[in-house]
Amino acid sequence: MATFSNETTFLLGRLNWDAIPKEPIVLGTFVVVAMGGVALLAALTRYRLWGWLWREWFTSVDLKRSASCISSLRWSCSCAALPMRS
């Protein structure tokens, strides 16, 4: 069981290296998801899709696209905020 310190920082609060899980399966999943995110950002940059994404999805007046973009962002933020069970 991990012990957490009560020290806080201005930018990250109580988030420190102890928050990274030590179990191999969870750690492997964390690494794969992080690498997938980096690969997605790299592909968007490599193929210069940021402008299209901004024009067609983020600032679209089409409510279906805007709603799907906002709901997926809300879902990803809420999943990131869930406490980890030990």
For residue 71, being part of any structural domain is answered with yes
3-state SS, one letter per residue, for 2-51: CCCCCCCECCCECCCHHHCCCCHHHHHHHHHHHHHHHHHHHHHHHCCCHH
Domain residue limits at 72 = 51-81
Check residue 11 and give its pLDDT: 82
Quote the number of domains for the chain: 1
5 pLDDT more than 80? no
Model confidence pLDDT, tens digit, residues 13-64: 888 888 888 899 989 998 999 999 999 999 999 999 999 888 887 777 777 6
What is the spatial distance between Cα 70 and Cα 73, in angstroms, rounded to a whole number?
Answer: 5
Identify the residue whose tokens are 């709603």. Answer: 67
Q: Which amino acid, one-letter code, is at 14?
A: R
For residue 6, being part of any structural domain is answered with no
Specify the range with the lowest mean pLDDT, choosing from 8-12, 16-20, 46-50, 65-69.
Answer: 65-69
Check residue 83 and give its pLDDT: 57
Check residue 86 and give its pLDDT: 47
> Cβ(27)–Cβ(20) under 8 Å?
yes
